[in-house]
Amino acid sequence: MPLENTSAERIAAIHAAQRDYFRSGATLPADFRRIMLRRLEQALRQWERRLCDALWQDLRKSPEEASLTELSIVQSEVRNHLRHLGRWMRPERRPSPLKLFPSASRILSEPLGTALIVSPWNYPVQLLLNPLVGAISAGCTAVLKPSPYTPHVSATLRAMIGEIYDERYVAVVEGNRDVNTLLLDRRWDLVFFTGSPELGRIVMAAAARHLTPVILELGGKSPCIVDRGADVETAARRIAWGKTLNAGQTCIAPDYLLLHESLADAFPAAYARALRRLHGDDARQSPHYVRLVNDRAFDRVASYLAQGTVRLGGRTDRAERYIEPTLLTEVDPLAPVMREEIFGPVLPVVPFRTTDEAVAFVTEREKPLALYYFGPEKSGREVLRRTSSGGACLNDTIMHIANEHLPFGGVGNSGMGRYHGRDSFDAFSHRRAVVETPTWIDPPFRYMPYKLFRYVKRIL
């Protein structure tokens, strides 16, 4: 299903209309923001079947997985913002030091303005609409740019958004990277981008021309450590689930496995059992096993199978873009499978002898978007203390993204900025410092010629 690029003229018209609409002040009242959030909440219910059908057509994502990983996350986010919006919008009082007497200080959260939200293809509903919740909540307008690699989802979202919002407020722009270039040439008040680190650099360079702030939700190679003392069966089940969710096409999927050498045989056997419970004897026949998004993605991920020894899985079908969940051992740390984000169901295994060795392996590489540790909690907390990542789970995978009360974001090469819950509201807001000073008294100490300055210095 080919998508038609939105024209440069139409992009210019939408951009100008949204800037005018924001300047009118229409988006500022709390009641307006609540109404717009409720429209989105209602639309997600009414369009659920059509969105699920589109996700199946583009990714072969089952309705259950679509609900679990896409729609429910956005719905929870909307409910959280509706519940707390009034409190988040209230001015925050701050103490004023004696040197500012008789002034009062506070922080006002004001919307940044017109936002551009660019989303990827792997979770095309969640990663487009979740940031939109923050934009609406903060009082911004938004232009949404879905991925062209999921054309059915893109068309469905365009229709849904067009039904519930005036395009002066929220609009969907479609097309390939030429459209991205047209969008990034314009001046926005915030660019929110989710994608690869390579594309993140392009976005940041474009935004720098206008000194536009950016939030970059990127990816990278998220390590998963299975240490001595781990519950191997539970670890295998949770890792298999996290790695095969969306066929591994998840920015926070376990990307490679650091496995204690004492578990070299026990873990693969447990992983095989976990996969059978999740997807049956043949994952190709499972209604819950997603396909690679396109031929190029299939070819890239399939090429990794030759970069180690296939311990488990390894079957492929290019016609279906199917790659079986695979454990890969005896991999070269310098091979592409250990340098590039895999974004597929291939899990390379690297043995280690001590926890110090595993920590060193992680810290010698770019900071990941997520880190997972399976083993004793005390050891896990020590690993967290000595490493850095956007988010983390101890004895679990993926689940930190499911808590709308936790911030989600990267660090270093895996991104900058964060969102979800209050952090989404803050992401699209400017926290404005305000000092209010009455006129009933005007202490002379700050004015030239600074009389009695030696006494004034004591309160500075």
E strand or H helix at 193, and its extent? strand 190-194
* Options 140, 224, 251, 393, the catalytic residue: 251
* Options 70, 77, 217, 404, the catalytic residue: 217
E strand or H helix at 52, and its extent? helix 48-59
Q: What are phi and psi for residue 94, nearest 5 degrees?
A: -130, 145
Q: Which two tokens stand for residue 414?
A: 């895996």
Collapsing DSSP to helix, strand or coil, 264 comes out as coil
Q: Which two tokens stand for residue 102?
A: 């008789």
β-strands 104-111, 429-436: how paired?
antiparallel
129-152 burial, b if ≥16 CB within 10 A, otherwise e?
Answer: bbbbbbbbbbbbbbbbbbbbbbbb
Residue 217 annotated as catalytic = yes
Contact yes or no for 104/436 (Cβ under 8 A): yes
Q: Among 333, 314, 332, which Cα is nearest to 324's?
A: 314
Q: 345: how many CB neighbours lie within 10 A of its CB? A: 26
Distant-in-sequence, close-in-space partners of 165: CB < 8 Å, separation ≥ 6: 36, 39, 171
Collapsing DSSP to helix, strand or coil, 394 comes out as strand
Report the alpha-carbon distance of residue 408 to residue 271 in Å, rounded.
28
Q: Among 96, 110, 94, 101, which Cα is nearest to 30's?
A: 110
CA distances from 61 to 1, 56, 69, 177, 455 (A): 17, 5, 10, 25, 71
Q: Which two tokens stand for residue 418?
A: 């964060």
Report the alpha-carbon distance of residue 225 to residue 353 in Å, rounded.
12
Collapsing DSSP to helix, strand or coil, 347 comes out as strand
Distant-in-sequence, close-in-space partners of 298: CB < 8 Å, separation ≥ 6: 292, 316, 318, 321, 323
Report the alpha-carbon distance of residue 132 to residue 138 in Å, rounded.
10
- Residues involved in catalysis: 217, 251
